[in-house]
Structure 1
């Protein structure tokens, strides 16, 4: 396990202290999107076991992915994640090892299988992404009857567009989509979030990839997004007023001021969150 740990992206796990506290959906917001994603994880079968969550910067993709992977309602045995970031968590060549380490920490059988593989081939963790994917994902979950029938395991990849190198991003997508199509009985369910970068959008537009995934498009300026941002702002400003009750007018903020801020934010949670931090 120590050898495997050294080849992981430190801090990319959904429960890593390096990301604590991670972004999460504000209570009462993004309810429909969260339920659609959870429903997909619970019910996906056959080839279509990937959900692509796509949206512009600032719409709250990471918060959605974090909230889904932490959901207690998910009927999954194992959860693993890679939360990419241009701020030091961008080495896609370590993505498979990062996922593998988390799965090994949760499954004794899986840990035994991959430790045996790494002992047999000590250079495996420095091999190509494709070889690591085959040895650490395909062989254990497809060729081992116990793991193959153990129930769903959720793998979340957030911020794929922040992974270093277009070629690496596309390689990960190709491996995952081919895996889903070739192995429809696989227990692995994938949630992948990214911005709508041209090369990623083009990949998912291919007819040979279509059977492997469903698309969840987050529209920044939708009525749902605007209502959620307004709720977030209303709750946060109310909290600020309560904490500063001795110096703030009990009627603050005035409704028209809140509406101005909400309209300026549109459906962008990043804008609203930044504005609140400066109040």
Structure 2
């Protein structure tokens, strides 16, 4: 689902942020919805970063945060090549079963991190969790949240679209999966065509 926050900072009031956080938490904790991708759009200074950080903290406290990655030019966190390895490392600290699978995969194919992001996404995130879902179907009832923030601050303009394209393609193709995804970005980036592969049902 896509949720715009408003066209200027004054339109994102505290009550709006509180309502949004509640909605995200309910969805992320598995409200029974089949939608596994949540996209929050808003211009600068409406509070996207604050909401994202609060969501990450609350899900971490509930032990349901799989990973979070915030692009930030001022903090030199704007390399698109980190958008897969960073969540993989964080996920490995949260799930011993996942860690075993992904470690084995890295041993068998140590060059996988040199491959393109599409291959990394498939080999290091999707396939390991698909295996876990098959072996331990109960994990579907407590999905982990993957949070990506500030995609518009990625230094490679073309690469800004890639994570959303990968995720939206995946959620269209998989009826069920033990991960839920939330993205925070500017609406200008969305209007530029980056959302071309977002599911029509959103």
Inter-partner Cα distance in structure 2 for 1:91 and 1:103: 19
Structure with bigger gyration radius = 1
Give CA deviations for 1:193-242 in whole Å, capped at 9, x if unaligned.
Answer: 001124555333x476233x4xxxxxxxxxxxxxxxxxxxxxxxxxxxxx
User: Aligned residue for 1:90?
Assistant: 78
Q: How does 1:158-169 map to 2 (within 5 A)?
A: 158-169=149-160
8 A contact 1:69–1:79 mirrored in 2: no
Q: 1 or 2 for the larger relative contact order (CA 8 Å, sep ≥6)?
A: 2
CA distance in 2, matches of 1:44, 1:92: 32
**Between Structure 1 and Structure 2, how many residues are aligned?**
185
- Report what 2:106 is aligned to: 118
Superposed counterparts of 1:21-60, under 5 Å: 30-42=17-29, 43=31, 45-46=33-34, 48-60=35-47
* Structure 2: unaligned runs, 5 residues or longer: 1-13
User: TM-score by structure 2 length?
Assistant: 0.82
Instruction: Map 1:1-279; keep pairs closer than 5 Å.
Output: 30-42=17-29, 43=31, 45-46=33-34, 48-71=35-58, 77-87=64-74, 88-144=76-132, 145-146=134-135, 149-150=138-139, 151-199=142-190, 202-204=193-195, 206=196, 209-211=199-201, 213=202
CA distance in 2, matches of 1:35, 1:96: 28
Q: Which runs of 5+ in 1 are unaligned?
A: 1-26, 214-279
Q: Summarize deviations over 1:5-32 as a string: whole Å, max 9, x none.
A: xxxxxxxxxxxxxxxxxxxxxx988211
